[in-house]
Amino acid sequence: MKHFIKICAIADLEEFKGHKFQLDSITEIAVFKIKDKIYAVDNVCPHNHTPKMYNGFIKKDFVVCPIHLYEFSLKDGKPKNFLGGNLELFETKIEDGFLFVKPSGKTKFNFDF
């Protein structure tokens, strides 16, 4: 069973801006702070496996990949305008002003263009 990993101070997260972090040896995450909520998603877009989600932007309850502008739900990772796979979402918690994220333990391959 995977344990939560300390990521950063909540105060260091700029609202509505994506932040990239290395979660573990195989996973990069994109973290978004939206009002009082924090979302941690896979930094790799399911569309073209491009690790740029941190550079995306928020549109209501969706994060929009900056490469081809496909949208993924921040509630369940489902794509809105694309028939491919879901964007992986990670469990988060806040303790003493710090963000913790739980790795999924899944194996993946990233293609950086």
The two tokens of residue 33 are 């702070």
Compare residues 36 and 113 and give the one whose CB is closer to ligand FES: 113
Phi/psi class of residue 38: alpha, beta or left (left: φ > 0; alpha: ψ in -120 to 50)?
beta
Q: Rule CB under 6 A: is residue 41 a binding residue for ligand FES? A: no
Compare residues 7 and 63 and give the one whose CB is closer to ligand FES: 63
Compare residues 39 and 70 and give the one whose CB is closer to ligand FES: 70
Q: Rule CB under 6 A: is residue 33 a binding residue for ligand FES? A: no
Q: Which of 10, 34, 48, 102 binds ligand FES (CB under 6 A)?
A: 48
Q: Rule CB under 6 A: is residue 70 a binding residue for ligand FES? A: yes
Q: Which of 38, 45, 63, 74 binds ligand FES (CB under 6 A)?
A: 45
DSSP, residue by residue, 14-73: PBT--EEEE-SSS-EEEEEEETTEEEEEESS-TTT--S-GGG-EEETTEEE-TTT--EEE
CA separation for the pair 95, 98 (Å, rounded): 5
Contact residues: ligand FES, CB under 6 A:
45, 47-48, 50, 65, 67-68, 70
